[in-house]
Structure 1
């Protein structure tokens, strides 16, 4: 839990919730506050449960370190973690696999800052989570500042067409899509404050959608999950565009929030899977991989 990223505090909350849930389920747990690559695990560690969000924990770095130590861990492997965390790479994966996603451009900090997509656009730091380094730009005069902020977090920025619509998320557990969750930020924008301020966002699960739309969103989520090489669990975030109600994948979160009120646990609960069982299933999948040595 923890980690050195901009999402450290959120990661500590996820880690504390998972630790408590696993203890209630009867697992022996040792909490490890990771601050960098020199973290220490107990010698008899069977599985490392990853509850770190953002850089280092979610981008494949921690996964690679654990594989080098021969330690089994929960969630996606090194490559899928890296690719899903990098929005420029994941957009190309979606494009190649036919997964619906917004039109986009990738800009480099060292290159020309010329955007050809019509305004409004969404500017995103390529390698951040929790809406860090994200801005909706409606006025051309605000574009340079949005790009400068995105480049504070890395060498690339992704600029997407702005799609007006409702926001949803689909959790995947194993190879099974969970019930769809609708996300309703009271400000109209699901930014960092809306995600982590109590009462700032309303959630509905299962989301009130036509059965065909629910099924389509779940099928698209599973397609994206597989195309990116994910395993065990992830959360696929969507926009449902106004008018044609076309599902559009925003991103895949390979280590989604894991407090008892986070989106993936909410979806699991709607499927009849309690928090302790959810955490236990994640550990069990990693243990089974350890036995198979994969």
Structure 2
């Protein structure tokens, strides 16, 4: 196995707002690869000179950089220029997947279900328009920085005052913010491996929504896998996940997130081209349900670079 892969750079950490999550994911991936006999080495772009990757004899890269600089096509383009194979999606699909607005526009053009939305640009926003914006989006919205992950900068707003405060907070992370009509219902996620769906997971939290605290800090968040859907509903969900994944041009591995409202209508939220990879993250949970250990999972992902 080590001979097949050669020298592997595990890229994690970086400079994005998701650095801490990436550090945890990267360490887990690195340890699992080393335990499998792979000649894997940690590379943190915040401190290491990644321009030397080729000169240092690395044959391929396992990308575990979350957020900007790692999940948005930048590192993918850099590695492509060096002719170094890497895990996950290519340059264009990574860039699109990191952009929640462009992702929704592509899904919408393909007649895939997404919630009504509006894109707010920081320099164009006027506080006096907040009430009208809410009215056009059913009165309650989810506020999301367009280029952030891990629920960073996200908030629920149901009054003009809350919307203005939420936008000002979101603008700290991004000059473009996505507003979506609030969906009351259950949140699901479908992990993708080799372009195929792994067992779906349903997330339950007592928080207002599945936010950063619920994802990474709470001990009360529930992850249901099996997710409680019947066979027909699972087929529908998996089919939608695969279509959504392909529509963005994603490949290798990733994750597609959904909401299902109280009338059992599905709504696509976003696609993650470099999801969390700690031992307790969603992709490893789904893989475990499919009988795939964490060590097998990371090797399978890396095999896609051969």
How does the TM-score come out when normalised to structure 1? 0.94
The corresponding residue for 2:3 is none
Contact 1:37–1:62, Cα closer than 8 Å, also in 2: no
**1:256 paired to 2:275:** yes
**1:85 paired to 2:81:** no
Contact 1:165–1:239, Cα closer than 8 Å, also in 2: yes
**1:62 paired to 2:66:** no
How does the TM-score come out when normalised to structure 2? 0.90
Q: Secondary structure at the match of 1:203?
A: strand
Instruction: Return the alpha-carbon distance in structure 2 between the equivalents of residues 145 and 37 of structure 1.
Output: 38
For the aligned residue pairs, the C-alpha RMSD in angstroms reads 1.4
Instruction: Return the alpha-carbon distance in structure 1 between the equivalents of residues 20 and 227 of structure 2.
Output: 29
The corresponding residue for 1:153 is 173
The corresponding residue for 1:16 is 27
Question: 1:27 is matched with which residue: 34, 38, 61?
Answer: 38
The corresponding residue for 2:183 is 163
Gaps of 5+ in 2: 1-11
Instruction: Return the alpha-carbon distance in structure 2 between the equivalents of residues 55 and 9 of structure 1.
Output: 13
Counting only pairs closer than 5 Å after superposition, residues 180-199 of structure 1 correspond to structure 2 as 180-199=200-219
**1:104 paired to 2:117:** yes
The corresponding residue for 1:273 is 292
Decide whether aligned partners of structure 1 residues 125 and 37 sit closer, same or farther in structure 2, where only a CA change above 3 A counts.
farther
Question: 1:178 is matched with which residue: 169, 173, 198?
Answer: 198
Instruction: Return the alpha-carbon distance in structure 1 between the equivalents of residues 207 and 162 of structure 2.
Output: 20
Instruction: Return the alpha-carbon distance in structure 2 between the equivalents of residues 11 and 205 of structure 1.
Output: 24
1:200, distance to aligned residue in structure 2 (A): 3.5
Instruction: Return the alpha-carbon distance in structure 1 between the equivalents of residues 243 and 38 of structure 2.
Output: 33
Deviation by residue 1:132-182 (Cα, 9 ceiling, x = unmatched):
111110222211111111222222111100000011100111121110101
1:37, distance to aligned residue in structure 2 (A): 8.8
Question: 1:220 is matched with which residue: 220, 240, 253?
Answer: 240
Contact 1:4–1:36, Cα closer than 8 Å, also in 2: no
Contact 1:17–1:260, Cα closer than 8 Å, also in 2: yes
Instruction: Return the alpha-carbon distance in structure 2 between the equivalents of residues 99 and 174 of structure 1.
Output: 21
The corresponding residue for 1:45 is 58
1:188, distance to aligned residue in structure 2 (A): 4.2
Decide whether aligned partners of structure 1 residues 282 and 220 sit closer, same or farther in structure 2, where only a CA change above 3 A counts.
same
The corresponding residue for 2:156 is 136
Q: Secondary structure at the match of 2:124?
A: coil
The corresponding residue for 1:201 is 221
Q: Secondary structure at the match of 2:229?
A: coil
Give the ranges of 4+ consecutive aligned residues of structure 1 lying more than 6 Å apart after TM superposition.
none
1:66, distance to aligned residue in structure 2 (A): 1.1
Deviation by residue 1:97-125 (Cα, 9 ceiling, x = unmatched):
11111110111112144323221111111
